[in-house]
Amino acid sequence: MPISQIVDGYGLIEDAGYRLPPVPPEYLQGLNRRAYVPYPGFESPGTIEADLHAKLLYWIEPGGMAWRFPVGVGRQGLSMSYDTTIKRKEEWPSWTPTQNMIRREPEIYSEYAGGVPGGLANPLGARALYLYQGNRDTYYRIHGTNDLASIGNSGSAGCIRMFNHDAIFLFPKVPTGTRVVIRDRADSIAIEGAAVANRGRELPPTYVPPEELYAAAEASGPPQFGPASGIESFGY
C-alpha cells in the first residue's frame, strides 16, 4: 500500500515479532475509524460501554471525552445483555472453540477443537480482554481480528471484534477490574440515532490465512507509528 494511502493510526505495526499490515482505507470510512470524541452516554470514566447495535465501543475518559472504536459482533456477542468485568488480559492469546461452537457449526470449528496458538492465524487476533461475572468466565471476549470486513457488521460467529490496530491501542489503557457495560437497543437508538443503531449487515465468518497477512505486511514498507485519529465529527 502506498504510504500516501495509509490512515494515521492504522499503518504497519511490528509487535512481538509479528508484522500487521496497514488497514486499507476503504475499511475506515465514517464511523469505522478510531476517534477521540465527546462521550454521548451516561457511564463513568474508566468504564467500557459497548453498543452492539451501533457496532461501537467507548473507552470513557475524564472530562466528558471518550475513545470510540468500531466493532464487529457475532450472534454470540449480540446475546450479551449484562454487565461484566475484565478479569484477564492477553497479548497474542491462544484460542479453543467451545463445545457449543463446535456443535453449532462443526464445519467451521471442528478442525480447531484442539486449540489454536497465539499468532497471525488466531481468531482472537493481537489482544484479548476476557469478560467475567464475578469469578465466572462468560466466554465473551473483546478481541482483535484479521477479518477486516467484519468490523461495523454482524457475523455468525465471534464475540466483540476490533481491528487489531484498535485492540493494541486500547489494551494498555484498560486495567483488569474494568467494568464493561452493554448499551441496550432503546438507549442505542436514543443516543446514536436509528440509522446508526441499525448499521451493518450480517456476514459469514471469514478465515484470513496468515500468509496473506505476511504478504501484505512485506508489501507495506517500514512500520508506521503515526498518531491515532483525533477529534472527528460524527459522520456516518
Which DSSP helix (H) or strand (E) runs through 150? none
Task: Tell me whether residue 146 is in a domain.
Answer: yes
For residue 209, pLDDT over 80 is answered with: no
For residue 215, pLDDT over 60 is answered with: no
- Tell me the residue range of the domain where 173 lies: 3-216
Provide the whole-model pTM. 0.85
The predicted pLDDT at position 232 comes to 29
Task: Tell me whether residue 73 is in a domain.
Answer: yes
Give ∠ CA 136-137-140 in degrees, rounded to 5: 140
Q: What percentage of the chain's residues is helix, strand, coil (to nearest 5)?
A: 25, 30, 45
For residue 35, pLDDT over 90 is answered with: yes
Residue 142: CATH number of its domain: 2.40.440.10
Q: Between residues 43 and 210, which one has the greater pLDDT?
A: 43
Task: Tell me whether residue 40 is in a domain.
Answer: yes
DSSP states of 8-61: TT-S-EEETTEEEPPPPGGGSSTTSS-EEEE--S-PPTT-EEEETTTTEEEEEE
- Kindly report, residue by residue over 69-121, the tens digit of the pLDDT: 999 997 665 667 789 999 999 999 998 888 887 887 788 778 888 888 999 88
- Kindly report, residue by residue over 170-207, the tens digit of the pLDDT: 999 999 999 999 999 999 999 999 999 999 887 766 55
Which percentage of the chain shows pLDDT scores above 70? 82
Q: What number is the average pLDDT over the span 127-147?
A: 94
The predicted pLDDT at position 205 comes to 61
Report whether 6 contacts 224 (CB < 8 A): yes
How far out from the chain centre does Cα 48 lie?
12
Average pLDDT, the chain: 85
Task: Tell me whether residue 175 is in a domain.
Answer: yes
Residues designated as active site? 143, 159
Task: Tell me whether residue 97 is in a domain.
Answer: yes
Which percentage of the chain shows pLDDT scores above 90? 62
- Kindly report, residue by residue over 3-30, the tens digit of the pLDDT: 778 999 999 999 999 999 999 999 999 9
- Kindly report, residue by residue over 142-163, the tens digit of the pLDDT: 999 988 999 999 875 568 999 9
Task: Tell me whether residue 223 is in a domain.
Answer: no
Number of domains in the chain: 1
Task: Tell me whether residue 16 is in a domain.
Answer: yes
Task: Tell me whether residue 236 is in a domain.
Answer: no
Q: DSSP assignment, residue 228?
A: P
Helices of type H across 62-209: 75-78, 99-104, 106-109, 164-170, 185-192, 194-197
The predicted pLDDT at position 235 comes to 25
